[in-house]
Structure 1
Amino acid sequence: MELIIANTAGFCFGVNNAVKIVFDLAAKSDKQIYTFGPIIHNEQVVAKLEKEGVVTINRPQEAGGPARVVIRAHGVGPDIIGGLRDNGLDIVNATCPYVKKIQKLVSEKYNEGYQIIIIGDKNHPEIIGINGWCDNSALIIETDEQVDGLPDIKKNICVVAQTTFIREKWEKIIKSLNKRFENVIKFDTICNATDKRQAEADKISREVDMVLVIGDQNSSNTNKLYEICRKNCERTYKIQTASEIPPVDIKKIKKIGITAGASTPDWVIKEVIHKMSELDKQDFEMSFADAFESSLVTLTTGQITKGRIIGYNQSEVFVDLGFKSDGIIPMQEFSDDPDFNPEKSLKVGEEIDVFVVRVNDGEGNVVLSKKKVDAVKGWDIIESAFETKKPVTVKITEKVNGGVIGNASGVKVFIPASQISDRFVKELSEFVKQVLQVQIIELNKQKRKVVGSARVLIEKNKESASSEIWNNIEAGKTYKGIVKSLMDFGAFVDIGGVDGLVHLSELSWNKIKHPSEVVKVGDEIIVSVIEFDRDKKRISLGYKKQDDNPWNKAAEKYEVGNVITGKVVRLVPFGAFVEIEQGVDGLVHISQISNVRLGKPGDVLKVGQMVEAKITELDVEAKKISLSIKEVNPIDPVGAKKEETAAEAGEELPTEHKEDMTNTIGENLSDLDNN
């Protein structure tokens, strides 16, 4: 006789967690413990809890305070939770994590305006609870034939499934929904453990002559296992306990398969196995009990083994080890990363290496640690990196006296302040949470001491980059650089291991007083080489682009005879400078302002005043534009009479005025050139 026992038989992590919570509370709490509805669908577990004083209630009003109420693994709606709180009861939520995710999803999509469709048994407490999170407005179906009976739905549709629903049926229903509705989004919420359990039951039932499905009559996943197995094997029997084993002639059966629902405790499974072994102990090459035990892996404290993540909550990660009970990793033993986020980092179904801390913590649990495995592997990586001088990645976790501490492959690495950068660092806390490449410069495994240096690598990289720059540099070549520091006269830019200077005049075509008006430290900019000196290790860089030269644009936009509107930006004895557009000024000579002779431009103009003027001369190369206000709209002093100007009379300007004008024009043209 060959026995095939499903590895997935018995409690799933969600059920195991809920049952454990209630038994723990019953043993330790000084208050009455209630469960809202049976904690799981299993009469034996509920009866055992009743012996511990735990009472099952079905309405909030049935609980008398002060007391604690444990929400069943199937979950409830928000109205129930509200009713329990209104009655002053302490609530302990033991809802399966998978079910919680569905509740949250349904609530979010309902609030976004979606019509919720739930695929599952409308009378099952899990479905009733989920429906409560969308104000009991969900449409609930269980077969693909029921899709045609759904009303016309104009808004977007969100589809979820009962965690224990049969996948084959789910796929048929989704196909029918997609045919009828265009605006359907689906979320495959069938529990991974359910998938695995049902797939294994399907496989086993195809290979055996008889199947025993152990579980409560009201257990949804047990009934679905029975349905799957019955389809493949006619001799499939659903039993709750060993006493219900059917009277069959097992001597005529070559293979027997055994599986169990997620709410079936291991002691019930073992009783069934024991009963079967007693019936035909002599004819079996191996008794059922022996077969069950032999199907399980052997664990010892201190060993490293592989496991598969099957679920988690806020404090623990549940791991399938192939052992008689699942392993538990306390969340603080999973990772040293302070930014570790279970929701983002943990993947159900992922295989991981774990360290067995204790095979039995006194309550039948296997206590595990992933951090210890990471540390063991990490030391091998660190030792190899130290010997080969290969860089390692370190995430900085904290600032300490004299430096910082980081984590590299599960091993703590100390980086002294002098080794964290090639420059002086005033505030080390800015490095916390940063990821650095470091070289291990000191290692003492006995003292668990590891010292790393980022500076060594930075200097090596800079030296290499510097050689590359100087070997290939040429005038006009462009580089992508990082602004390292700002001075009054310009900005220093790192172009890849070498710093160059962008002078103030090369930062902008406009006149600026400080580099901070254009760039800031840390900016990534494109610069070009103006000139360089290899011997003195100096590089002059340019940042302003020729395409942005406002004088080039002026040549395209303006010509002699154009009338422009500009702002007076500067008054000088011989005239006024008018800004035509940013970076381009024109000169209005004093004789071209008014119809009368002016003592000074300030007699009729002031800085900031808007004026109209005609372009009388345009020399882009010399960056010179001459303007005339008089030819457009002369501005005369109030009450002034027209007088013949020196120019109109054909007189020369006094020599001292000519010199003043020449000097001042030169100064302004020099200013424009510097811009």
Structure 2
Amino acid sequence: MVELAKTAGFCYGVDRAVGMVYDLLEKGKKVATVGPIIHNPQIVSDLAEKGVIIVNEPKEVPKGYVLVIRSHGVGKIVTDEAEDLALELADATCPFVKKIHRLATRAGEEGKVFLFFGDADHPEVMGVVGHCTGEYYVVKNESGLYELWQNNPDLAQKSIFVAAQTTFNTNEWKNCLKTLKKLCTNHEVFDTICNATVLRQAEAKILSENSDVMIVVGGRESSNTAKLFSICNENAETYLVETAKELPNLEGSLKIGITAGASTPASIIKEVLVTMSDMNQIAEQNFEEMLEESLKSFNTDEKVRGIVVGITPTEVYVDVGRKQAGFVPANELSQDPNVRPEDIVKMGDEIDLLIMKTNDQEGTIMLSKKRVDAMKGWDDIEAALESQEVLTGKVIEVVKGGVIVLSKNMRIFVPASQATTSRGEDLNGLKNKEVNFRVIEVNRGRRRAVGSIRSVLKEQRKAAQEKFWTDIQEGQRFTGKVKSFTNFGAFIDLGGVDGMVHISELSWNRVKHPSDVLSIGETVEVFVKGLDRENGKISLGYKDPSQNPWEKLEKEYPAGTVCEATIVGLTDFGAFANVIPGIDGLIHISQIADRRIEKPQDVLAVGDKVNVKITEIDFENHRVSLSMRALLEDSQAEAAKADNGEAEVVYSTEAE
């Protein structure tokens, strides 16, 4: 019995590179490749017969040739040289490899060490190294990692980016990462092993465990073929062949498994299958049927994994390892309608997808990313409901009755009553903001999840209040926002806790209403005048003590001073007059005139400017007594004195 691995043969990157060369030849182009386009001597030989030449560096390319960069990629110096020489370039670098190039460059730009697991002599690794802009190291295996650390003990203190060759052995990778955790904690791991490699190696392991003999088909120079051989050889007698001519003579009723490296063309796999069938005298299975089985049409609602190979404003193209061309419409990429495709995925990204519709006639598959994400999200959301974990999400829409929060790739509806701390607030202010919330209801059947922002805000406010009351002291200064007004003062939000500035504390001048001094929403500097911890009340001061007019009054306007004052108020018992800004004094009705008057309004009106004498100052109770009558009496006394003096002089003259 012969069984062929489903993942045998060309991977996406190799198929793309080889196809690019053949396509250029069909267009009549002359082609040169940097190194062999593929690690398969048969393909390389066929291309050589068609005129394809192999060069080591751009300056070797003859005039008129197109230079193809193979899927392994090259260092930046190679592409820079090609551009300097004005060569026509066709870049077939595998998207997975391109991703590693970007990581290598980024590590240097961020001042981090780039640690790369792979074979230093492999073209892919040499190309990656050519994109390193800072400190880097190439390690082949776990023992090489230990050796690196022994020779460079300071690495344990550095920040490290960790990546691997796309064809690196997955088991070795796991062992290396386990060891790295013991050696260093400040490292960031990027899983750059190609998904096709992972699947190929995993399938080879399972197939070899269930086979008597394994045949690995591929070029002896191929790294991924060598790794397949190593994996299979651990479980079964294994042979590595490049063509059917190298097959061993296997007789008897053996169970034979066949796998092939990523650089092995379908024609060679077919030749091996047919030869094995003849050897074992079994009914030959149509190879085309076997291939078609691996290329079978997908069923709708089937999950697949693909690699991003193209991005446009309206859709993303993906390779899912089958004959159909996969595409994801922009509205199937994310639950957030405001994001662009390039914000969600990048070239070479590997993503999980759900098949929405197949079109065998056109050879296309319509796929969805957001639906797969939503499937994963339900479990997370239900777990969050159970644990009452606080989640973070972005408000992407304001809808009738509430807002939509995107979190864990799920659309969570937050009713208006649960969106803010108080009802009636404008929800539009939440749009595009990051918010914390709890899940309060999940109904998978109705595809509905409900959350509450308010419950988290209340908890946060309560925690802030407790800390606030623990720390606050009299005299402490705060920056707060004016929240609301009453006739007797203004309430200031100090950050989760409100304090009140009494109207008398707003200004040294007379204030009719807090709005004369402050505006709602204004940021102000205040200080704590008094605390009532039992009732949770805070009295605040706002006016500047350095501008205290009573200090000015004491220095410049002692009792007995005569000054001009403005009448600002009239009562039955007297008139209030402004002496200096911030201080009003009382002119008692008995001190307004030198005669009896019925009421102050008979003599004075608001706005009148009058001369007064400061007769008494009560600094403790902030009271000033004024008198107009005292000035009149002083004036009369002066006049009388003057009159008496003049009379005496006249009498003396007459006596003479």
Residue identity matched to 2:355: D
Query: What is aligned with 2:206?
Result: 203
User: What secondary structure does 1:238 align onto?
Assistant: strand
Of 308, 311, 325, 2:307 maps to 311
> CA distance change for structure 1 residues 78 and 256 in 2, over 3 Å: closer, same or farther?
same
Query: What is aligned with 2:99?
Result: 101
Q: Does the CA-based 8 Å contact 2:330-2:340 persist in structure 1?
A: no
Query: What is aligned with 1:15?
Result: 14
- Distance in 1, Cα, partners of 2:309 & 2:201: 24
1:654 matched to 2:628: yes
CA-to-partner distance for each residue in 1:599-657, whole Å, 9 max, x for gaps? Answer: 2379xx9879xxxx9xx9xxxxxxxxxxxxxxxxxxxxxxxxxx996459x99712799
5+ residue gaps, structure 1: 375-393, 397-428, 436-492, 494-499, 524-544, 555-563, 569-577, 579-585, 617-642, 659-675
1:6 matched to 2:25: no
CA-to-partner distance for each residue in 1:580-611, whole Å, 9 max, x for gaps? Answer: xxxxxx69769972466232379xx9879xxx
Shift of residue 294 of structure 1? 7.0
Write out aligned runs for 1:520-669 (5 A). 547=537, 549-550=539-540, 566-567=546-547, 578=549, 593-594=557-558, 597-600=561-564, 646-647=615-616, 653-654=627-628
User: What secondary structure does 2:546 align onto?
Assistant: strand
Query: What is aligned with 2:164?
Result: 161
User: What secondary structure does 1:287 align onto?
Assistant: coil
Q: Which has the larger radius of gyration?
A: 2
- Distance in 1, Cα, partners of 2:263 & 2:44: 11
User: What secondary structure does 1:350 align onto?
Assistant: strand
> CA distance change for structure 1 residues 657 and 59 in 2, over 3 Å: closer, same or farther?
farther
Shift of residue 334 of structure 1? 6.0
Query: What is aligned with 1:246?
Result: 248
Residue identity matched to 2:23: D
Query: What is aligned with 1:418?
Result: none
Query: What is aligned with 1:410?
Result: none
1:265 matched to 2:265: yes
CA-to-partner distance for each residue in 1:4-56, whole Å, 9 max, x for gaps? Answer: 2211111222222333333334434x754332222232233334444555433
Shift of residue 80 of structure 1? 1.1
- Distance in 2, Cα, partners of 1:24 & 1:514: 80
> CA distance change for structure 1 residues 98 and 506 in 2, over 3 Å: closer, same or farther?
same
- Distance in 2, Cα, partners of 1:130 & 1:354: 37
- Distance in 1, Cα, partners of 2:169 & 2:491: 68
Q: Does the CA-based 8 Å contact 1:193-1:310 persist in structure 2?
A: no
- Distance in 2, Cα, partners of 1:647 & 1:430: 57
1:132 matched to 2:130: yes
Query: What is aligned with 1:60?
Result: 58
Shift of residue 129 of structure 1? 0.8
Count of aligned pairs: 448
5+ residue gaps, structure 2: 372-394, 398-427, 435-482, 493-500, 507-512, 524-534, 567-578, 586-611, 618-623, 633-656
User: What secondary structure does 1:311 align onto?
Assistant: strand
CA-to-partner distance for each residue in 1:187-241, whole Å, 9 max, x for gaps? Answer: 332222211111110110011112111111111101100111111111x111222
Q: Does the CA-based 8 Å contact 1:11-1:261 persist in structure 2?
A: yes
CA-to-partner distance for each residue in 1:333-356, whole Å, 9 max, x for gaps? Answer: 965956243573587362411422
Query: What is aligned with 2:640?
Result: none
> CA distance change for structure 1 residues 293 and 172 in 2, over 3 Å: closer, same or farther?
closer
Shift of residue 99 of structure 1? 1.3
Shift of residue 548 of structure 1? 5.2
- Distance in 2, Cα, partners of 1:655 & 1:66: 114
User: What secondary structure does 2:262 align onto?
Assistant: coil
- Distance in 2, Cα, partners of 1:305 & 1:27: 39
Q: Does the CA-based 8 Å contact 1:353-1:373 persist in structure 2?
A: no
> CA distance change for structure 1 residues 313 and 432 in 2, over 3 Å: closer, same or farther?
farther
Residue identity matched to 1:367: T
Shift of residue 506 of structure 1? 5.3
Note the aligned Cα RMSD (angstroms). 4.9
Query: What is aligned with 2:236?
Result: 233
Write out aligned runs for 1:315-464 (5 A). 315=311, 317-320=317-320, 325=323, 327-329=325-327, 335=333, 339-341=339-341, 344=344, 348=350, 350-358=352-360, 366-370=363-367
Q: Does the CA-based 8 Å contact 2:9-2:265 persist in structure 1?
A: yes
User: What secondary structure does 1:4 align onto?
Assistant: strand
Residue identity matched to 1:167: T
Q: Comparing 505-514 with 199-208, which one deviates more in the overlay?
A: 505-514
Q: Does the CA-based 8 Å contact 1:10-1:265 persist in structure 2?
A: yes
Shift of residue 514 of structure 1? 8.4
Q: Does the CA-based 8 Å contact 2:305-2:350 persist in structure 1?
A: yes
> CA distance change for structure 1 residues 93 and 199 in 2, over 3 Å: closer, same or farther?
same
Residue identity matched to 2:318: F
- Distance in 2, Cα, partners of 1:657 & 1:200: 113
Shift of residue 95 of structure 1? 1.4
Residue identity matched to 1:220: S
Q: Does the CA-based 8 Å contact 1:6-1:259 persist in structure 2?
A: yes
> CA distance change for structure 1 residues 647 and 164 in 2, over 3 Å: closer, same or farther?
closer
% identity of equivalent residues: 28
- Give the TM-score normalised by structure 1: 0.56
